[in-house]
Amino acid sequence: MTSHDVARAAGVSQATVSRALRGDPRLSEETRQRVVTAAANLQYVPSQRGRSLVTRSADQIGIVVADLGNPFYMQILSELHRGLSKTHLRMLVLTPGPDGRVPLERLVDGSLDGVILTTTMLDSSLPNALSQRGFPYVLLNRAVDDAPGDVCVVDNHAGGVLAATELAGLGHTKIAALFGPTTTSTGRDREAGFRAGLADAGIALPESNWRRMPFDFSSGHDAALELLDARPTALFCANDILALGAFNALHGRGVRIPEQVSLIGFDDVLLAGWEVFELTTVSQDLPAMVEAATELLLSRMTAEEPPPPRRVVLTPKLVRRATHGPPPPE
């Protein structure tokens, strides 16, 4: 069935069929309903490709994400799907190739109206390339220094300070840390904030008491076992997946959490709140972040004149659960 068939059945022009199925408010409700009923009776499905040729809009947003194994990014995708489902826009998930990058041509080939970048590295040239082409994008979760585009992140430095201040306030002085890669804004800024918080409390972080690594479970597991030799009473992990890996390693060694070692993560993924973990963590308001990023992108896509770069920074909070407490007695 084609739109011509629907037009004949409804007694209207083909252009009216197109406007009715787009929800054009200039049409009367009676006409719109007549077209909708005819389309339903004929089991007509509008051609998205044809509509895109007419409107010059793909009605599709790209979401670039590198780590689908991390529950944090699955939550981002879930929130984005929930938000975009309220609009006419579809969501296309794009993952990097073997070189860790998504080709620019894949984003600007006409199949997308805009893109949300969630796992961008600090040295990425993609934001600048998109800006030069005037292609709408938003950096969500991670930032790129001096990128000339919109950004929506949590204050990662402040989150690191929160974790350090909490542990220092409980009386911990033998503190260890699992930091993320400094090639990401999240890894760099959370580490800087945690170190600053410890310095403000007059607590040293010896080189033997910290490691940098990818944000994954096995890295957290293995590094936590290494750091046991330093006999820390508290361990900060720069994301929850590292913290859950550390939790598993400590539990396997018979280390009691938090009686012997306190543990604090960062992100507040859904797993962190499970009863088996009850992980104390620095939380970022993911629904608010995603909503803000989506609004930034949509407003840029529909603006007659491109607005200047905008930056939304949300405030983190510490979620106190069951994995932290005072240090054990000497």
pLDDT for 37-61, tens place per residue?
999 898 887 765 555 444 455 789 9
- Does 145 lie in the same domain as 65? yes
Q: What is the pLDDT of residue 1?
A: 75
Distance CA 257, CA 276 (A): 12
Residue 55 falls within a domain, yes or no? no
Residue 224 falls within a domain, yes or no? yes
CATH number, position 7: 1.10.260.40
Locus of tokens 């972040």: 289
Closest CA to 257 of 266, 244, 270: 244
Distance CA 286, CA 154 (A): 9
Q: What is the pLDDT of residue 52?
A: 47
Q: Does residue 22 register a pLDDT over 80? A: no
Locus of tokens 């018979």: 254
- Does 275 lie in the same domain as 173? yes
In this prediction, residues 225-240 reach a mean pLDDT of 97
Distance CA 2, CA 47 (A): 9
Residue 319 falls within a domain, yes or no? no
Locus of tokens 């998504």: 102
Q: Which two tokens stand for residue 230?
A: 């330093």
- With a pLDDT cut of 90, the percent of the chain lying above it is 76
- Does 191 lie in the same domain as 84? no
In this prediction, residues 82-106 reach a mean pLDDT of 88
Q: What backbone torsions phi and psi does residue 106 show, to the nearest 5 degrees?
A: -70, -25
Tell me: the pLDDT tens digits for 284-294?
A: 999 999 999 99
Residue 54 falls within a domain, yes or no? no
Q: Does residue 211 register a pLDDT over 50? A: yes
Domain that holds residue 149: 60-154+286-314
The total of structural domains in the chain comes to 3
In this prediction, residues 151-175 reach a mean pLDDT of 98
Instruction: Report residue 64's pLDDT band, with 50, 70 and 90 as the boundaries.
Output: very high
CATH number, position 100: 3.40.50.2300
- Would the CA dihedral through 101, 105, 110, 114 be positive or negative? positive
Residue 28 falls within a domain, yes or no? yes
Task: Calculate the average pLDDT of the chain.
Answer: 92
- Does 251 lie in the same domain as 192? yes
Longest dimension (CA), the chain: 88
